A and B are shown apart, each in its own frame.
Chain A
Amino acid sequence: MSAKRLAVHGTLRGMEGRRWRELGFSLGLVALLAWLLNGMGFFEAGRLMQGGVNLVRFAQEMFPPDVRILPTIAGALVETLQMAFAGTLLGFLLSFPLGVLGSRALFPAGVVAVVRFLVAALRTVPSLLWAVLMVIVVGLGPLAGTLALAFYTVGYLAKLYAELFEAIDPEILEAMRGVGAKRRHLIRFVLWPESANAILSQLLFMLEYNVRASTVLGLVGAGGIGFYMQAYLGTMAYSRLTTVLLAVLLLVIGMDALSAWIRRRYLLQP
């Protein structure tokens, strides 16, 4: 066999080996899931049955929803939206510069490493835990929720933006350096226009996410509709809870629709 044929043969053998490994991996994953569920009692028939009965009873108490509380919760709904918008925008304003600082296309490896570590640390804290921390720091209320969402947003957007900026065609950066552009020009005339679409798209995604996240921040006293969720759950006022959940559902659907509209209107044409 010639060297070339040998090499082809080797490649084919490698591919077969890979298929077997993939198959083994998939089976292993299913086994792991079964083991985990079993540990939690998923396969105990009696327990599942009881769960079904509980669910039906719960559902009966939830309906019909008690709409008399609507005026009461309206203010909290608005506050939820305000928190989501303010938190997302505040987070965005911090994310853009951090994304720039965290991109190797513009800054030395040392700076990038520090920024990325910081952002990764922000990301490891879930938004509800941020809310608890912020309640401790600034007290109960929507300010805590807004700050919590902002921190959480920075953890994600700064990372995504840094990656966007690193994916920019190096020839463009080189051509810009060739005309004597400084870093500030690269940010204004390359990073922004080359990734504006993706930046806005991810910003919208984050906004959708934060509208959802903001609805539960009230559980820990960080403002918004979550306060009523907790209150009605605690007093077992399930028909009122239903009204709250339906209102939240509408809010989330409305936000997703708005965001879809913005995408169509402004982002689709490249």
Chain B
Amino acid sequence: MTQPLAALRSEETLALSTPAVAVEDLWFAYREGKWILQGVNLQIPAGGFWAIMGPSGAGKTTLMRILAGLLPFPRGQVDLLGHPLQGKPDPALRRMIGYIPQQLGLVRGLTALENVLLGSLARHPGWRTALGFFPRAEIERAIALLELLDLADRADEKVFRLSGGERQRVAIARTLMQDPQLILADEFVSDLDLPRAAQVLAFVHRLARERGLTVILNLHELQLVQEFADHVVILKAGQVVFESPALDLTWPLFREIMEGKR
């Protein structure tokens, strides 16, 4: 009786000590010779809620796209959830990573429900779904997620008719539909006003805690970072210039870093 229990414990500790994201000396360039990321190092623990900040053009989106497995990188090592990322990630790893791009990447001509259903494609890659037939259980799940996000009455509305905040929540629902362990969101609340953004982040934060998800967000607002993130990284010109618990990043310190005095 004691043996398996002990084994389970040690496995758990191992799982907890493996970082969700480990980036080592990552280099990337869109065009030969112009390095956008220059030796980035990051260790993000499982269950972490991390914010990445930095001036425009620092390479935040680029880093996100690499972590989402959408951009192959020439130099460095990236491990996601304990699996090395090289070339195209295999489908099993793929489905554990939820990526929300800056403009959300929703299909405007489809309804909210249809967009959420797309999150289940990794589980049903066959021709049935390509013809538009999703399993009943998935449809019920999608509806439950829309209810959770307070969007039940908007389910059959086309996305281009939804408000900015509603679209944000549809994008979250699509990502949750995927059932990921890691969520990467690129400035996805920057189009909302501050109270709205705080509301959305509060929701994602609570959900991540409940489900033990790791979340990495690109954020512009220090207030939001201080309120929600537990750790913050500042990227400048493709390099990590600062890293600390979110509460240690004060306004004067933040300005100092952004203005280049450090």
Contacts and interface: CB of A to CB of B under 8 A. Distances in A.
Nearest to A173: B105
A175 B125 contact: no
A263 B110 CA distance: 20
Contact of A185 (B97, B102, B121): B121
Interface stretch (B9-17, B127-135, B140-148): B127-135
A224 B176 CA distance: 58
B198 to A, nearest CB: 24
Interface stretch (A110-118, A188-196, A208-216): A188-196
A172 B106 contact: yes
B211 to A, nearest CB: 18
Interface of B: 65, 68-70, 91, 94-95, 97-110, 114, 118-119, 121-122, 125, 127, 129-132, 160, 174, 178
Contact of B104 (A175, A179, A196, A270): A175
Contacts of B105: 169, 171-172, 174-176, 178
A167 to B, nearest CB: 14
A149 to B, nearest CB: 29
Interface in A195-238: 196-197
Contact of B107 (A177, A178, A190): A190
A180 B109 contact: no
A188 B130 contact: yes
A178 B70 contact: yes
A184 interface: yes
Nearest to A190: B107
A190 B159 CA distance: 13
Given A175-B105, A179-B121, A179-B178, 20 more contacts: A171-B101, A171-B103, A172-B105, A174-B65, A174-B70, A175-B99, A176-B105, A178-B68, A178-B69, A179-B95, A180-B125, A181-B121, A185-B129, A188-B131, A190-B107, A193-B108, A193-B109, A193-B110, A194-B107, A270-B160
Given A174-B101, A178-B68, A270-B160, A184 B130 contact: yes
Nearest to A172: B105
A189 B106 contact: no
Interface residues of A, number: 23
Contact of A178 (B99, B102, B127): B99
Contact of A189 (B69, B95, B97, B114): B114
A182 B97 CA distance: 16
Given A178-B70, A179-B121, A193 B107 contact: yes
Contacts of A188: 130-132
Given A172-B105, A172-B107, A179 B130 contact: no
Contacts of A171: 101-105
8 contacts: A171-B102, A171-B105, A174-B99, A175-B106, A176-B107, A178-B98, A188-B130, A197-B109
Contacts of B98: 178
